[in-house]
Amino acid sequence: MENISNTKGVFSPIEIISASNLLKKQRRNLKVMLSRFYYSKISKILYLFFIMLTVWLLAGIIFGLSQLYFAIAVILLVLMLILAIFEVVYRVFMEGNVTFFSEKWNIADVTCLSISCLICCISFGIAGLISYAGEILAVLINLVRLLLIYFKLLRMLNRMKNTEISVNDLNGYGYSNEVQTPTSKDVSDKEINDQEKYNDGVFKFHESSRTDESEG
């Protein structure tokens, strides 16, 4: 009983809230890290590579190089669709659910990806393999969405280059947001104020604890 009474009230509400704020801060930092990778030259090169690969697949399928090529193209298409699903999940986490799904073009992007996957599944279910027409249609849809994402990314990178917007300021904002984003200075000032409030609260809590112990 003595141990229980001694441990009672070890963590004040302010300390519990601060732990929650710390988790939020770590999540925000992770989002910033993901954003820095996404809005970088590496990401631009990766999208360009997948666009060129998709064009190569489409050309090979249309001109019908060989059955082996078609089989390789089917495997590559499935892998690209799986990667596209992970890419959408990545952007949803990076931008946030509300921001991501509030933009019409993001909804169109997810719809295109879903249609591509559905075409492959239906084609595979009917013919036992992905059909010629099904693969062409799926590759075309995937190419269109890749081009849209690539040009949107270029637009955002150009906007960042011509203005003073940093990756930190883009956290929680999508491509088409034209609202005034908070600056890094505003964010840091808020964190300083929160830290000062937290320190004052912890100090007052421990002071009151010492007073209670002395009175007891």
74-116 pLDDT, tens digit each:
788 888 888 989 999 998 888 888 888 888 888 888 888 888 8
**Residue positions counted in the chain:** 216
**150 in Cβ contact with 51 (< 8 Å):** yes
Sorting pLDDT into bands at 50, 70 and 90, what band is 187? very low
Q: Is the confidence at residue 143, as pLDDT, over 60?
A: yes
Long-range (24+ apart) CB contacts under 8 A made by 112-118 are 112/141, 112/142, 112/144, 112/145, 113/81, 113/84, 113/85, 113/88, 113/142, 113/145, 115/141, 116/81, 116/84, 116/141, 116/142, 116/145, 117/81, 117/85
Q: What pLDDT score does 9 carry?
A: 53
pLDDT digits (tens, 9 = 90+) for 18-59: 666 777 777 777 888 888 888 888 888 999 999 998 888 888
Which of these, 35, 126, 123, lies nearest to 78 by C-alpha position? 123
SS3 205: helix
Can you give the pLDDT at residue 48? Answer: 92
Report the pLDDT value the prediction gives residue 139, as an integer from 0 to 100.
84
Q: Which two tokens stand for residue 25?
A: 């801060």
CA distances in angstroms from 121 to 59, 71, 78, 84, 114, listed in the order given: 22, 16, 10, 16, 10
> Once rounded to an integer, what is the mean pLDDT over residues 147-175?
69
Q: How far apart are CA 143 and CA 137, in angstroms?
A: 10
Residue ranges in the chain assigned as alpha helix (H):
2-7, 13-38, 41-63, 67-95, 97-101, 104-127, 132-162, 167-170, 184-215
